[in-house]
A and B are shown apart, each in its own frame.
Chain A
Amino acid sequence: MAEKAPVSQADELPSAARLREIIDSVIREARALGASGVEAAVSADAGLSVNVRNDEVETVEHHRDKGLGVTVYFGQRKGNASTTDFHAEAVSDTVKAACDIARHITEDPYAGLAEPSLMAKVFPDLDLYHPWTPTTEEAIALALDCERAARTADQRIINSEGAYLSTHAGLRVYGNSNGFLGDYASSRHSLGCTMIAQSQGGMQRDHWYSISRCAGDLEAAEAIGKKAAARTVQRLDGRKLSTRKVPVVFAAEVARGLLGHLIRAISGGSLYRQASFLIDSLGKPLFPDFVEISERPHIPRALGSAPFDSEGVATQDRTLVSGGILQGYVLDSYAARRLGLQTTGNAGGVHNLEIAAGEMDLPSMLKAMGRGLLVTEVMGQGVNIVTGDYSRGASGFWVENGEIQYPVEEITLAGHLSEMFRGLQAVATDLDTRGNLRTGSWWVNGLTIAGN
């Protein structure tokens, strides 16, 4: 049905040497225009994604993207410009545009490159690059297998939103006028599907997916399909709950979001802008004393691993929360200077943040909770990092005597993030590693459910 994909992913990426040349020319040209400091980042990405639905191919998309970002400093004035065009003339125009902007910017005493002494000097092999070049037919076949397993899993599955396979390979290069120039390649592949089930009570949809650096680490297509089908069927005939205060278990994939709210609240940008409910919280207890949260940027093949951050600063293992007490913020060099601290190597975000699991797996956790709500999905934007107020739509399952009783939908969960963090009872062993924030399920007390 389809022709062979024209070129392999790896062949489509320009060489690191070519991207390094672009950075060199940016630094040279910006210097010639009088910049006292320059930094530049170049990226190139290639990928293939296929979608199938109801046993037919829906879309075959070939992705090729690239980008150059340039930041120049004239003393304490900063300017920034970016382009997708790597031709010499376009690169020069981008440098000029950044310089033009810097002229109109007000001096900011905190602006500048990260400290040269903090730049990455060793580049551990993090095993992040496993390019995968299935033919279009092979990619389609895997997506079809995944969808078929889902569609045939249960007769209440009446429709499909489709299954997809997506492969991606990319190259990042960053350099600055303090002499740093580093690059690393990485790959990312994912396979997933979304099903629709129906009963008297109406239609429900849900999904499941697997993502990894290496194709061989993906969950089997059939397993993903079956899990997607099971999750969808389980949601049928959901009920509302009456308004009440109950214990809640956030399933791992939802607990990840809570960890994300913590990171936003202790990020430099939120802190120096006074836009966080956790300003001045360093050294203070945020969680019960069993809670340990660490950052581990060098886990081989992990989705959040990186040898250096987006300012070239070396990433390293560190502890963010120990004994429930906040030990460190999440800072880039700008926010660090504003706060009188040192950068934590988090320009561009965190790298494999992990909360230590306790003893219980998820079923044991539900048993220990006894009666309450298991939340498997949250909806909407009702999280206020300035105040810590939390109010989101939710669905999941009602639990009695430690066992799931029936699906629950169309309710909200509300509380305050400080109280939710303090009310954390345990973290389960069902670690979800499909992202940068790695956690098992959380059992949290202190939330209000609103329903009918």
Chain B
Amino acid sequence: MNQSLEIAKQALLSPTGLTENDLHTVLDKLSSHSIDSADLYFQSVRQESWSLEDAIVKEGHYHIEQGVGVRAISGEKTGFAYSDEIILPALTQAAVTARAIARQGQQQQVQAWQRGGVPRLYSADDPLASLTAQDKVQLLQQLDSQARKIDPRVKQVFVSLSGSYEVMLVAATDGTLAADVRPMVRLNVSVIAEHNGRREQGSCGGGGRVSYDYFMHDGRTDHYVQEAVRQALVNLEAVDAPAGGMPVILGPGWPGVLLHEAVGHGLEGDFNRKASSVFSNRIGEQVAAKGCTVVDNGTMPGRRGSLNVDDEGVATQENILIENGILKGYMQDKHNAHLMGVKPTGNGRRESYAHLPMPRMTNTYMLAGEYDPQEIIASVDKGIYAVNFGGGQVDITSGKFVFSASEAYLIENGKVTAPVKGATLIGNGPEVMQKISMVGNDLQLDLGVGVCGKEGQSVPVGVGQPTLRIDELTVGGTQA
């Protein structure tokens, strides 16, 4: 039991002789001021990356980092300090600095430990060790030659492989003593194809909380290579995109970045506590078309956005955000949940020990509906079929969001015709969600490449959706 906790104590506390009792003592010291809660977040990370260009593996990088972050909360106030040395004096110093937000006052009682940290969603093995350096280099070279063999128009191939092994332990005044051991791998293939003086790029990749072994199965690497080349070749034929409002069909999988931007961020607890989101105070209201059910699910085995426990030690769960168009709930960390009088949802995440946790998404997707994807495409006279995207951005206050297509086609008389150049799509979250008129039966999750940025902090996430018809969205092409 508590396998992760034992690994974490070995990795983070034992090297400098720290014990559970020391953590208790530091939390006690924090509690000598009028604070509501406090936590200590220990983390160590080992990362590597290998990259190929010009058909040779020319760069390799190894990074190691560890530290501890100390947070003290009093009302809406948070004090925060951290140290990259996990030793008792540094920890105590950080605690003294963090608690300075509150006056000296009544000594609070630190709760008895409730230990947590049973791995259930991914292995606690180090993924960096799952392949020899030589095999990593060979894998990159093999994908390079595969890509070049597919089509002579492929002129440049870039392949990168990265992995990280992270161990975290969190101890809090509420008795939380939880740990997680988090593997992550990622492989990416990008190509540039050239024909008649025109150059276009394509890329594909994937990964998750798995070992490098993942890439050796189910033809995954073949798929990445073929997809990257196919996208670049399609884009070589792309014509200028139309401009203006029109029906847009979004393909399954990664286009779920729509949900991440159009509703996901707006449903994060901090924005709703502050009433700065267009979705604030709207629980129970119809915020999306009937038939739309959106969830955030941190419990999917091996997924990039999944966590056994979040960075506050709360077990992740499947949270229904929107059910059949009705807003059901927000995503919360402990702090915002407490201030809003609700339960934390396992969405408290932080980039590292040197950052404060916030409510963040995990794997966010829309459940499947009943329509055949072909039927959805056939329903459009003139519009756009967008199957791949770069990324997106949202202004959660006005609800305006954008996302940028990297592979899209015209739909003419119910048929997919010419590829069009990448165009940005823009809309207003709550309005666009009401314009989803058909939901496909083909739910897919992305391949494991998402990174979400918020207030300068990046965390890995997943997105997904079935094929969707949006009756009108503004397409930012040049053909007026």
User: Interface residues, chain A, CB within 8 Å of chain B?
Assistant: 1-3, 5-6, 53, 56-66, 78-85, 90, 93-94, 97-98, 100-108, 111, 136, 159, 161, 196, 202-205, 235, 238, 240, 243-245, 273-275, 379-382, 384, 386-387, 389, 391-393, 395, 409-416, 448-452
Residues of B within 8 A of A (CB): 53-54, 56-67, 75-85, 93-94, 96-98, 100-101, 103, 133-134, 136-137, 155-156, 158, 192, 194, 198-201, 241, 243-245, 274-276, 278, 354, 356, 390-393, 395, 397-404, 421-428, 474-480
Q: Which residues of A contact B67 (CB under 8 A)?
A: 84
Contact A104 B60 (CB under 8 A): yes
The one of B76, B192, B390 in contact with A274, judged by C-beta atoms closer than 8 angstroms, is: B192
Are A275 and B192 CB-contacts (below 8 A) given A105-B58, A159-B274, A448-B480?
A: yes
B401 contacts across to A, CB distance below 8 A:
379, 393
Q: How far is the CB of A328 from chain B (nearest CB, A)?
A: 23
In-complex Cβ contact of B77 among A58, A85, A412 (8 A): A58
A6 partner residues in chain B, CB cutoff 8 A? 93, 96-97, 100
- A78 near B58: Cβ-Cβ < 8 Å: yes
A56 with B76: in contact, given A1-B103, A275-B201, A409-B398 (CB under 8 Å)? yes
CB <8 Å contact, B428 and A448: no
A273 contacts B478, C-beta separation under 8 Å: no
* Contact status A389-B199, CB under 8 Å: no
- B96 surroundings in chain A (CB, below 8 A): 6
CA distance A169 to B369 in the complex (A): 54
Compute how far the CA of A356 lies from the CA of B421 in the bound complex, rounded to whole angstroms: 33
Contact A274 B474 (CB under 8 A): no
A-B contacts, 16 of them at CB < 8 A, read: A53-B76, A56-B76, A59-B356, A81-B61, A82-B62, A82-B64, A84-B84, A106-B57, A274-B156, A274-B194, A393-B393, A393-B476, A411-B426, A414-B476, A416-B478, A448-B477
Distance from A281 Cβ to chain B, minimum over Cβ atoms (Å): 14
**Max chain B C-beta neighbours (<10 A), residue from A80, A85, A235, A382:** A382
User: Is A448 a contact partner of B278 (Cβ separation < 8 A)?
Assistant: no
> Do the beta carbons of A273 and B192 come within 8 Å of each other?
yes
A387 touches B77 (CB 8 A): no
Interchain CB contact under 8 A, B97 and A382? no
Complex CA distance for A256 and B469, rounded to whole angstroms: 37
List 15 extra interface pairs beyond A1-B103, A80-B59, A410-B427, CB under 8 A. Answer: A82-B61, A85-B65, A102-B60, A105-B59, A106-B56, A243-B243, A243-B244, A273-B192, A274-B155, A382-B404, A382-B476, A391-B477, A395-B400, A412-B474, A450-B243
Minimal Cβ-Cβ distance residue in B for A80: B61
Q: Which residue of B lies closest to A103 (CB)?
A: B133
Tell me if B480 and A245 are in contact (CB < 8 A).
Answer: yes
CB distance from A406 to the nearest CB of B (A): 15
Cα distance A392–B391 when bound, in Å? 12
User: In the docked arrangement, what's the CA distance between A390 and B243, Å?
Assistant: 13
User: By the criterion CB–CB under 8 Å, are B80 and A205 in contact?
Assistant: no
Across-interface contacts of A5 in B (CB, < 8 A): 97, 100
The answer to whether B402 and A83 touch across the interface, beta carbons within 8 angstroms, is no
Contacts of B354 in A (CB 8 A): 63, 65
A61, B93: Cα distance in complex, Å: 14
Q: In the docked arrangement, what's the CA distance between A56 and B76, Å?
A: 8
A108 CB contact (under 8 Å) in B58, B84, B101, B424:
B58
Q: A94-B64, A412-B474, A452-B474 are in contact. Are A384 and B192 (CB under 8 A)?
A: no
| Distance, CA A98 to CA B199, complexed state (A) | 35
Task: Pick the contact of B421: A274, A389, A413 (CB < 8 A).
Answer: A389
Interfacial chain A residues near B479, Cβ < 8 Å: 448
B278 neighbours in A (Cβ, 8 Å): 202-203
Assuming the A-B contacts A104-B133, A393-B476, are A387 and B423 also in contact, with contact meaning beta carbons closer than 8 angstroms in the complex? no
B85 proximity list for chain A (CB < 8 A): 85
**Could you tell me if A448 and B274 are in contact, using CB atoms closer than 8 angstroms?**
no
- Whether A412 pairs with B426 at a CB distance below 8 angstroms is yes
Residues of B within 8 A of A59 (CB): 77-80, 356
Whether the Cβ atoms of B84 and A62 lie closer than 8 Å is: no
Q: Select which of A64, A78, A82, A196 is within 8 A of B276 by beta carbon.
A: A196
Please tell me if the beta carbons of B78 and A58 are within 8 angstroms of each other in the complex: yes
Q: A382-B422, A393-B400 are in contact. Are A105 and B57 (CB under 8 A)?
A: yes
A8 to chain B, nearest CB (A): 13
Q: A62-B80, A274-B199, A414-B243 are in contact. Are A392 and B424 (CB under 8 A)?
A: yes
Contact B65 A83 (CB under 8 A): yes
Known contacts A6-B96, A61-B81, A387 near B424 by CB under 8 Å: no
Q: A1-B103, A243-B244 are in contact. Are A205 and B398 (CB under 8 A)?
A: yes
